[in-house]
Amino acid sequence: MILSKTLPTKSTEPYPFREFFDYLSAEKGLAQNTLWAYRRDLARYWDFLKSRRLTDWSRITRAHILDFLMSEKRQNLNAVTIARRLVSIKLFHRFLVQERFISEDVTDVLESPKLWRKLPQFLTPKEVEAILNVPADPHRSGLRDRALLELLYATGARVSEVAGLTLENIDFENGFIRCRGKGGKERIVPIGRKAIEACQKYLEKVRVKQRPRTNHLFIGKNRTGMTRQFIWKVIKKYATLAGIQKRITPHTFRHSFATHLLERGADLRMVQELLGHSDIATTQIYTHVSRDRLKSVHAQFHPRGQ
């Protein structure tokens, strides 16, 4: 027997949204950042449904979902965001069928909008060097920030992974860190000599004197672990001081890490492993960056390149 569930009119997170998020967290093992993205998408979807007075899940049709996607497009959202909205909706409707709230999945034949691949923004080796050389302050913040930036570039780790690093996650003797990535998956990533030296200097001269309240590697305000937002501010600060005009985020270091490896002949599968990508198709975008670089070099230096 199919259960008929009516959406409450007074709720910021209607039934069974909470059950759906519990399912994604407990059974699918999705990371908190991914869960928050789905939560935002479905909040938009729920607002749209309320505006159309759709109070019963069984009343929702493909036309309603397409109307929602078109309304999002009219907000000048890009195709990537709209496609992710649809993924969230499809997952949710599949859950409704699985849990027998509805009998038919009206999203099963809906296809994602055609996406274009936006090439990732990355830094040149000289730009990276310029940023890394800025935090020369021998005092607390300078040594900490130098270690942070060196580690980001040396490992290509996500900002959430670096923020979550604890002392147990780093092995100076063998030159590795243990990253916990999306879905709680762990991977071992090597770190270079310069990053090791910068981290050891920070630990010996700064962190040990801070009497931190946490076991995190990098300590921010109130002697607790650095947040993702704090790390972003650190990066923006030194990019500005280095005179870099590009828009830089923590992910820019990750893009630069992958691009520089591939440009120097690294195997794509190895780069996939280092980045922690479950699908090599995600890593392949960096080959397009490298091809663009090759084309620009050809155009610049070949006699008939123009």
Place of tokens 């008929």: 4
For the segment(s) 17-98, the CATH number from 1.10.3210, 2.30.29, 2.60.40, 1.10.150 is 1.10.150
Residues 81 and 88: their CA atoms lie apart, in Å, by 11
Catalytic annotation, pick one of 85, 144, 216, 254: 254
* 182 given a catalytic annotation: yes
Q: Determine whether 286 is an active site residue.
A: yes
Q: Profile the chain (306 residues) by mean pLDDT over runs of 10 residues.
A: 39 75 80 86 92 87 91 85 89 90 85 60 92 80 93 94 93 91 84 93 89 89 87 93 88 92 88 88 74 67 67
pLDDT at 119: 62
Catalytic residue among 50, 201, 251, 293: 251
Residue 45 catalytic? no
Report domain extents, the chain.
17-98, 125-301
- Which residue in 44, 228, 277, 293 is the catalytic one? 277
In the CATH scheme, what is the code of domain 125-301?
A: 1.10.443.10
Predicted pLDDT at 3: 38
254 is catalytic: yes
Name residue 276's beta-bridge partners. Answer: none
Question: Which strand ranges, in their side-by-side order, compose the sheet holding 186-190?
Answer: 170-171, 176-180, 186-190
Q: pLDDT value at position 256?
A: 93
pTM over 0.85: no
Q: Which two tokens stand for residue 126?
A: 């000289």
Catalytic residue among 182, 201, 205, 236: 182
Catalytic residue, candidates 5, 158, 255, 260: 158
pLDDT at 10: 38
